Amino acid sequence: MTNVPTFLNYIDGEWCASLAGATFDNVNPADTRDVVGRFQASTEADALAAVRAASSAFGAWKRLAPAARAKILLDAAAYLEHHADRFGEELTREEGKQKALAKDEFVRAAQTLRFYAVEAQSYGSETYPSDDAGMMVYTVREPLGVVTVISPWNFPVSIPARKIAPALICGNTVVFKPASDAPLSGLRLAEAFVEAGIPKGVLNFVTGSAGAIGSALVGAREVRAISFTGSTAAGEQIHRAASLSTRTQMELGGKNPLIVLDADDIDRAVDLTVKGGFSLAGQACTGTSRVLVARAIRAEFVERLAARATALVVGNGMTPGVDVGPLATAGQLRTVLDYIAVGMKEATLVCGGEQLKHGEYAHGYFVMPTIFSGVPRDARIAREEIFGPVIAVIDVDDYDDAIAVANDSEYGLAAALVTRDAQLMHRFANDIEAGTVKINRTTTGNLVNAPFGGLKRSSTATFRESGRNGLEFYLQTKTVYRGA
């Protein structure tokens, strides 16, 4: 516990301690003896100060030329890329993912900032013909005001980047609360904007528990929009708490299926399942968590999948050659182990299912990649989001049966089909109830320049994130009738 660095909030252009003086520690999930940092346990008063600062800064930031706002995004992107190696190591220590993936996340965040710095420059208004020759009718796109950004721990840089960048380039001001389980990477993102010269109050960074500061960030009258990524339960609570004049954008849970029907597709399907289900220790909202397999090929598929899963190397993400890192928190470890216990009563455990506790694993949150077969369609492990390295293999009769099972879910975030049949590809894109549709690709991953979001309880049915569509959430439209 010696020499633990203390990190501050950033409010109204100043790095500052919480008004209450309280802090909390963040530890390395691969070795909990390693304290990554000490962060501010902010209070409602801190959060309200951040909201007020953002509100005060809004007028000047809104009037700033778009090119000047874009330069700040570009300079922040350069800062992230320059420090990607060091920041990536910090991300591995605080969240657990492999070092290469952690560095890539900072590079991806920089790409996001650059995309919006350019894309917003061509985002214009419209004019409309009028029967009155002396009148011009046109629209004006304007920023909303203060935006609250609340991000999760599994992608603590790339997800807030795709929220903050479009918010800022459109002229909004931001209060950013990172997840308490991975606050340092969020701080580095805020730091990049500070180093880029963002005016005071335009971006504010506050750490602390949702219970302590959530109501202020959601309910303050100055807040005009809330962009949240996290659990469905938390997102729905935030959505209900927001006022009618506050926009909400909720990216929530998933129970994402991958469908494989043909024996010729087994090897590709196994590869995609391993990448989509076990990468990041299964801690991705778009992760592959159920595989719908034709009965005739299920035994062969499970055998090959188990062979791949048992060969995966579990360990500290800082160690070269590691395929699966730790779960991010003690709470997530308990959740995953509880679901594995449930699964053992519902289906057949093929491999994994155990916590690693000895030797190099003694002080971390490690679970072996786990596969269940013969999973009933109504089983909890087939229907509930586990958010860990656990895959449920479910038998299906044919394509139509697979679609019925895939769509029989409260979630609709991502789904994938493995096939060489071009007709089936088109049918799948139309039949599947998911906002992100993958064909011969993993359920995970999305492009910076393409829209992202889900259906049903996976997202609010409002605005998509990412791509050009990602600007829409942060803009409002005025219609102007101008006479001669």
- Cβ atoms 64, 41 nearer than 8 A: no
- Pick the catalytic residue: 81, 191, 251, 465? 251
Nearest to 232 by CA among 384, 40, 396, 33: 384
Beta-bridge partners for 348: 373
Report the alpha-carbon distance of residue 411 to residue 10 in Å, rounded: 36
Report the alpha-carbon distance of residue 84 to residue 89 in Å, rounded: 8
251 is catalytic: yes
For residue 40, the one-letter residue type is Q
For residue 84, the one-letter residue type is A
Q: Helices in 64-171 by DSSP H: which ranges?
A: 66-82, 84-95, 99-119, 158-169
Report the alpha-carbon distance of residue 422 to residue 174 in Å, rounded: 45
In the three-class reduction of DSSP (H, G, I as helix; E, B as strand; rest coil), residue 395 is classed as: strand
Name the token pair of 263.
């024996």
**Residue carrying structure tokens 């009563």:** 345
Count of other CB atoms within 10 angstroms of residue 117: 23
Nearest to 390 by CA among 284, 263, 253: 284
In the three-class reduction of DSSP (H, G, I as helix; E, B as strand; rest coil), residue 381 is classed as: helix
- In sequence order, what are the residues at sequence separation of 6 or more whose Cβ sits closer than 8 angstroms to the Cβ of residue 19? 43, 45, 46, 49
Residues found in the chain: 484
Strand runs (DSSP E) across 330-474, as ranges?
Answer: 348-351, 355-356, 366-367, 370-373, 390-396, 411-412, 414-418, 436-439, 455-456
* Catalytic residue annotation: 251
